[in-house]
Amino acid sequence: MSKYGQLVQGIISAIERGDYRRGDALPSLRQLVQQHTVSLNTARRAYYELERLGFAEAQPRRGYVVAAGASAADDRLIAPLGAPFPHPALYDTRALSHAFVGAMRHYHQALAEPALAGLPALRRQLARNAAAEGWELHADEVLITCGGMEALSLAIAAVTHGVVRPTLAVLLPAFPGLLGWLAEHGVALLPLQPAADGTLDTTALQAALARGEVQGIALMTAFAHPHGRSLPAATQQQLLALAERYDVAVIEDDAYRQLGFDEQMPLPLRAADRGGRVLLCGTFSKSLAPGYRVGWLLPGRYAELARRLKVAQTLASPLPNQLALAELLSGGRHLPGLCRLRQQLAERVRALEAALRPLLPPGCALPAAEGAYFVWLEQLPADCVALAAEAQQHGIQLAPGTLCQPGDAGRHALRLNASYFDAASQQPALDWLARALRRGT
């Protein structure tokens, strides 16, 4: 291929990979000449060809940019229902942006008062929020982390610290980040599978606890990933009683409790803990500040060890983001945006559930979500790992259940992100899914 052809194909490939997005400035003619050792005429001819093919357009004072009609890899997805995070368009970030600007007035002062456990103002706001919800925590208990994932990893590391062959009991299906962390760090998993009504047979768990094989129980009590349902209060108390009886920890991931569809927010299991056995892991990423990477941990009686691990792992969390969140939380300025987010998530989840129910083959299970933004399909007559791979070829992104549920049950389940659902444009994608399920792909 000629240098001219290589130049054209190289730029097209970069656009299709997503290295350049619509409206991004492409290299200048001078840069092309220098980088690719071509003449100025060759560079001009390449851009003329890219214009003709619809990949580039010339703009005054900007040079060539990626054309509005250019197609990148991500653009070919007509239904990104396998995404793990809420749709960013649902967040109104104006209040947070204003809070960030206002908080920077206190940045110099905060720098002069280093706090490895986290910004005191933010920790106080968390204590006030808990009091408003009807439970108690003290600001000096809070350890601010780099996102919810660090809170979760610190909790697990503290609970299993020094154990040669650590094991955690885990309620399934579960958050993929939890399952991945356990696998990567050699922590064995004792699966706990609640029934459809949330009740739990703890026979195997009690036997393992009696033998001293399990260091803790990991769970989500509120609007759990991936099905969006809360664990019944009786089951929560059953597990807390076992933790007290056998003196083991409970690691409670609280990532979605702010995203319930009803006005009444459930209390965390940590609110009923009197022995410091519950380590509560929280995050602002799903509710208020996506991308800020600010989470928090209530480590209970593991506080000293968790703080040492935090210092060894990341030392401290980014200060500007903490300042902004403390500013946003003061006076309840976050509440209107959070209320709108919950309403939008509820509408999209209900719309996707309603669209799916008449399309599913007999015997499939679709438990109605109570919060968050996922829809969980079980007992599907297809290998969903293969199904997700085939769907990608049609511009449909699906998440196979094996991400959340190890074993055969996960191969016959799907996790769909309802926050990306748009009935008007994605009905053909659901029709394709229905056909694929009927033939048992």
Q: Please give the pLDDT value at position 362.
A: 94
**pLDDT band at residue 403 using 50, 70 and 90 as cut-offs:** very high
> Which residues, in sequence order, are bridge partners of residue 374?
417
Q: Please give the pLDDT value at position 441.
A: 53
8 A C-beta contact, residue 269 and residue 236:
yes
> Which residues, in sequence order, are bridge partners of residue 64?
58
Tens digits of residue pLDDT in 228-265: 999 999 999 999 999 999 999 999 999 999 999 998 89
* Bridging pattern class, strands 278-283 and 249-253: parallel
Helices (H), 78-217: 94-103, 107-111, 120-133, 147-159, 176-184, 203-210
Closest CA to 337 of 272, 386, 369, 289: 289
Tens digits of residue pLDDT in 168-196: 999 999 999 999 999 999 999 999 999 99
Share of the chain above pLDDT 90, in %: 81
Task: Enter the CATH code of domain 76-91+336-438.
Answer: 3.90.1150.10
> Model's pTM, two decimal places?
0.86
Tens digits of residue pLDDT in 104-139: 998 998 898 878 999 999 999 999 999 999 999 999
**pLDDT band at residue 157 using 50, 70 and 90 as cut-offs:** very high
**How far, CA to CA in Å, does 73 sit from each of 67, 332, 388?**
15, 40, 17
* Bridging pattern class, strands 414-417 and 399-400: antiparallel
**How far, CA to CA in Å, does 229 sit from each of 76, 77, 284, 339?**
32, 28, 20, 19
8 A C-beta contact, residue 272 and residue 237:
yes
* Most confident stretch, 52-56, 105-109, 143-147: 143-147
Q: Among 3.40.50.2000, 3.40.640.10, 3.10.20.30, 3.30.460.10, name the CATH number for the domain at 94-334.
A: 3.40.640.10
Task: Enter the CATH code of domain 3-73.
Answer: 1.10.10.10
**pLDDT band at residue 218 using 50, 70 and 90 as cut-offs:** very high
Q: Please give the pLDDT value at position 77.
A: 65
- Sheet of 216-219, strand order: 143-145, 295-298, 278-283, 249-253, 216-219, 167-171, 188-192
Domain segments of the chain: what residues?
A: 3-73, 76-91+336-438, 94-334
Q: Where are the beta strands (DSSP E) in 231-354?
A: 249-253, 278-283, 295-298
